[in-house]
Amino acid sequence: MNPIFATLPTTVFDLMSGLAREMGAVNLGQGFPEDDGPLDVRAAAAAAILAGPNQYPPMRGLPALREAVAEHYARLAGVTLDWATEVTITSGATEAIAASLLAVVSPGDEVVVFEPMYDAYAPLIQRAGGVVRPVRLLPPGWTVDDETLAAAFSARTRAVVLNTPLNPTASVFDDAMRARIARHCVAHDVIAISDEVWEHVTFDGVIHRSMLVAPGMRERTIKIGSAGKIFGMTGWKVGFVCAAPALTEVVAKAHQFLTFTTPPHLQHAVAYGLAKPTAHFEAMREAYARSRDRLESMLRQAGFVTTPSSGTYFLNVDLRASGIALDDVDFAVRAVKEAGVATIPLSAFYARDADRGFVRLCFAKRDETLERGVTALAKARKLFA
């Protein structure tokens, strides 16, 4: 039995979603949309199943999808990729992160992460033999000063894992922040594993730019994307790894011994979807922005204070500023049991010494779900404030 995984608790997402099902509560916790994604993309997958083939596709992914990924990023992100040597398809972004870490991290290497962070990062770094070096981002802007950032890098640093737009804070690293990270990566010969799965979900004119285009980072960045996030179909688990040929080669070798490949019918459908016109992705952002604004407005009317949401499906409630003295875990558990609404405590996204004053809500829901959720949160606030 591996002690790294044997000692890990069940994820907070499973815990809160399980409680939501058990209690019949509104689930504003786990980050998945209520609709099932674009019908034409789903139809393309169904047609590909019937047409076949349904045998193993190439380990690095169908050429049609790898070409589509390269074309998509060239057209919409200004990133030039050679599909044949710089793109690998994985079974979801988490597998892509695992393959990337296993490819570049050796036992004893230090890996810089920004917390609060996606909960898979720390155990995967540890499984690769690495040492987690967290850098804490401070609310409400979720930023860090350069002195703290610089102190995290050393001769022992092998990689930095960053997520922008960032789950769970709903913030986006701007050009200055990316340039600061790039400067330290270049100075210490560090690889950036850049989790960019929320790249299409940004608001209010905020623009996501890949670490691939940060100064000095083209040859030392592993960019990760996700069809599940791009099309709002989180169960599909189709990810992309984009990197210079030397990095792609080692990541592909790690991927080979993880999942080896990804269902071909989903790859065909994602290739179709990535070719959609720019207007499709703009309309998607606008729809999510409307849901965010609706949730934020209703929460404000109910007496809650939120932090800014510049990207992702998420909006965070500041419990202290909202007049609630409970810590985030106590609030989340009592809210689902006593008020009928599931949230995610932000402390689950820290390696240690967590900030316990925030809960995360997902707004990728129907209007009636958001309304029921806020009604239940208002009930919780009255019970606990």
Q: What pLDDT does residue 249 have?
A: 98
* Residues ≥6 apart with Cβ < 8 Å to 57: 261, 262, 264, 267
Whether the per-residue pLDDT at 8 is higher than 60: the answer is no
- pLDDT score, position 6: 56
Check whether residue 250 and residue 311 sit in a common domain.
no
Q: For residues 324 and 234, state if they share a domain.
A: no
Q: pTM, whole model, 2 decimals?
A: 0.95
**In this structure, are 101 and 206 located in the same domain?**
yes
Pairing between strand 157-163 and 110-115? Answer: parallel
Query: Is it the case that residue 1 has pLDDT exceeding 80?
Result: no
Average pLDDT over residues 143-149: 96
Band (pLDDT 50/70/90 cuts) for residue 20 is confident
Among residues 225, 241, 276, which one ends one of the domains? Answer: 276
Which pLDDT band holds residue 125 (cuts at 50, 70, 90)? very high
pLDDT in tens, 235-277: 999 999 999 999 999 999 999 999 999 999 999 999 999 999 9
Asked whether residue 246 falls in the same domain as residue 358, the answer is no
Residues 71 and 143 reside in one and the same domain: yes
Separation of alpha carbons 299 and 381, rounded Å = 11
- Boundary residue ending a domain (235, 252, 276): 276
- For residue 362, give the CATH number of its domain: 3.90.1150.10
User: What tokens were used for 62?
Assistant: 């169908």
* CATH code of residue 127: 3.40.640.10
The verdict on 162 and 64 lying in the same domain is yes
Identify the domain boundary among 276, 292, 314: 276
Indicate whether 75 and 219 sit together in one domain.
yes
Q: How far apart are CA 300 and CA 321, in angstroms?
A: 12
Q: Number of structural domains, the chain?
A: 2
Q: What is the domain range of residue 23?
A: 3-30+279-384
> Any idea which residue has 């500041």 for tokens?
318
Residues 244, 338 share a domain: no
- Is there a single domain that holds both residue 256 and residue 311? no
Beta bridge partners of 160: 112, 192
Euclidean distance between CA atoms 111 and 39, whole angstroms = 40
Percent of the chain residues past pLDDT 70, beyond the cut: 97
pLDDT range class, residue 352, cuts 50, 70, 90 = confident
Bond prior to 53 in cis (omega within 30° of 0): yes
The pLDDT assigned to 123 comes to 95
pLDDT at 2 over 80: no
Same domain, 318 and 243: no
Give the pLDDT mean for 177-203: 98
Same domain, 119 and 219: yes
- Domain shared by 238 and 155, yes or no: yes
Mean pLDDT of the chain: 95
